[in-house]
Amino acid sequence: MGGEASWWQSAVFYQVYPRSFADSDGDGVGDLDGLADRLDHLKDLGVDGIWLNPVTVSPMADHGYDVSDPRDIDPLFGGMAAFERLVTAAHARGIKVTMDVVPNHSSSKHPWFQAALAAGPGSEARDRYFFRDGRGPRGALPPNNWESVFGGPAWTRATEPNGKPGQWYLHLFDSEQPDLNWDNPEIFDDFEKTLRFWLERGVDGFRIDVAHGMAKPPGLPDAPQVGSEILRHTDDDPRFNRPNVHAIHRDIRAVMDDYPQAVTVGEVWVHDNAQWAQYVRPDELHLGFNFRLTRTEFDATEIHQAVQNSLDAAALQNATPTWTLANHDVGREVTRYGGGEIGLRRAKAMAMLMLALPGAVFIYNGQELGLPDVDLPDEVLQDPTWERSGHAERGRDRCRVPLPWSGDAPPFGFSTNADTWLPMPADWAPLTVEKQAADPGSMLSFFQRALELRRGRSEFAGHQIDWLTVPSGALAFRRRGGGLVCVLNAGTGPMALPSDELLLASAPVSNGQLPADSAAWLV
């Protein structure tokens, strides 16, 4: 990471799940004008950029990850005019705007896919996707044994123009998300148009969905094993992480190099460090998500291993490490770490650890409020995994409930409509932005102070860390260069802190003793 640093190398990104952030028009669904109206919350929080989950035109089978027009904004979110207002308002506050792009698949309502259905087998239109004849008598069985990440088969049989069952099409996610065939040059040509379209309109970069996807193995061979866990896969899974994906990323980077201030961050679910690091080579992605901390229990040994592993992976290509504890696909950390008061204490401590590390940080909306997962009733669940798994997997709706802004009862200022797209729990009344902003001891006030220190103190400089010797059940490191010391106590009792000056702690420190389930910064 030599030379002049880019803004994203130490940025704090705030992930906005737009359906759940703020609703401006009273339909119960968050939108872009709602986000623009609440930008001062993000400015006061101290973030550098927004990562905006999909807002392009979509039938919303997977809440925007099924894109039917990648170069327009869905009316549900306010249309293109609202997007332009948002970018202008964010930039006026010094906040960058990055947006999701979805290159692996389109919506089944995309004009390309509709043309493919109408054109029939062997057509050029079908070559943009993966249409194949079925196996078995009269082609009644799927072309291979691949499963959907969301559950069930990865193939759906199309009805041909003559009205009879015909070829099958591939969808690694929902049946309304057919996979695009990146061996067809039309796919990249169109994707380049999409990238340039948004960059020319002031977008500061992209989060690339399923960045380890796109490339498929020749012949689409059977997977060596079936029965993969829903929303999970291994590095040798033929559906993902194929070598040809890197040629796609090099082509994308060639476009991005025309916009030197813009950034790409890839969703890279690859576990092997050497394979993961290939995605952040100098001519591929600028940043790659490393999800080890999101998969780690609140255990000092596990956390130490996850941090070191992530640093090692990035170092293989001299790349910038990334850190995140939660997102729209992962349960909220307050719940993961035990729920209730203990989950909140641990979440605060882990936030301090994450913010003390070198690299880029991603905060998921509501994390700054200490929101937990919500146990939603069956009848309101909307995630496609709920239906596709035969109601075996409840899906990700639990961490997507709208944010509470003000007041004492739902919808807590999120909307003027009490019938929000996912119901809000009444016991969130103490967690609103309004109440937490007025409480110096709240999670929100803690996040604001932590980000202020991270941004303003020279002790946070340096790209590497040195581990310090501490008692069992704890971990500590020092930022090499800046000198910040971060101590995390994941043990069962208090521990003595070093004699350095205490900069911030996630729980009260008495007589130099850091309580269990807490963290401290020292200088």
Question: Rounded to 5 degrees, what are φ and ψ at 157?
Answer: -85, 130
Q: What is the rounded average pLDDT of the residues 191-208?
A: 98
The answer to whether residue 232 scores a pLDDT higher than 70 is no
**pLDDT confidence of residue 226:** 62
**Number of helices (H), then strands (E), in the chain:** 13, 20
- Of 3.40.50.450, 3.40.50.1100, 3.90.400.10, 3.20.20.150, the CATH number of 111-170 is 3.90.400.10
The yes-or-no verdict on residue 234 having pLDDT over 80 is: no
pLDDT tens-place string over residues 30-57 = 999 999 999 999 999 999 999 999 999 9
Choose the catalytic residue: 23, 100, 204, 209.
Answer: 209
List 23, 100, 267, 459, catalytic entry: 267
4 catalytically annotated: no
For 440-492, write each residue's pLDDT tens digit: 999 999 999 999 999 999 999 999 999 999 999 999 999 999 999 999 999 99
The rounded percent of the chain whose pLDDT value lies above 70 is: 98
pLDDT at residue 387 is higher than 90 = no
**Predicted pLDDT of residue 466:** 98
Distance CA 180, CA 190 (A): 12
Which secondary structure element, helix H or strand E, spans residue 478, and what is its range?
strand 474-480
1 — pLDDT class (breaks 50, 70, 90): very low
Catalytic status, residue 267: yes
Angstrom distance (rounded) from CA 402 to CA 413? 10
Distance CA 495, CA 398 (A): 35
- The 10s digit of each residue's pLDDT in 266-296 is 999 999 999 999 999 999 999 999 899 999 9
**Treating both helix axes as pointing N-terminal to C-terminal, what angle do 245-256 and 185-199 enclose, rounded to 10 degrees?**
30
Per-residue pLDDT reduced to its tens digit, 94-151: 999 999 999 999 999 999 999 999 999 999 999 999 999 999 999 999 999 999 998 8
At 392 the pLDDT is: 82
CATH topology of domain 12-105+185-448: TIM Barrel (3.20.20)
What pLDDT was estimated at residue 229? Answer: 55
| CATH 3.90.400.10 residue spans of the chain | 111-170
CB 353 within 8 A of CB 461: no
Query: Tens digits of per-residue pLDDT, 504-516?
Result: 999 999 999 999 9
Domain with CATH 2.60.40.1180 in the chain: 464-522
In order, the DSSP letters of 458-495 are: GGG--SEEEE----TTEEEEEEETT--EEEEE-SSS-E
Tokens of 215: 């490339």
* pLDDT of the residue at 167: 98
Give the chain's mean pLDDT.
Answer: 96
Cβ of 117: how many Cβ atoms within 10 Å? 20
**CATH class of domain segment(s) 464-522:** mainly beta
- Asked whether the beta carbons of 359 and 334 are under 8 A apart, the reply is no
Largest Cα separation within the chain, whole Å, is 81
Instruction: Indicate the residue type of 473.
Output: G
Residues of the chain with CATH 3.20.20.80: 12-105+185-448
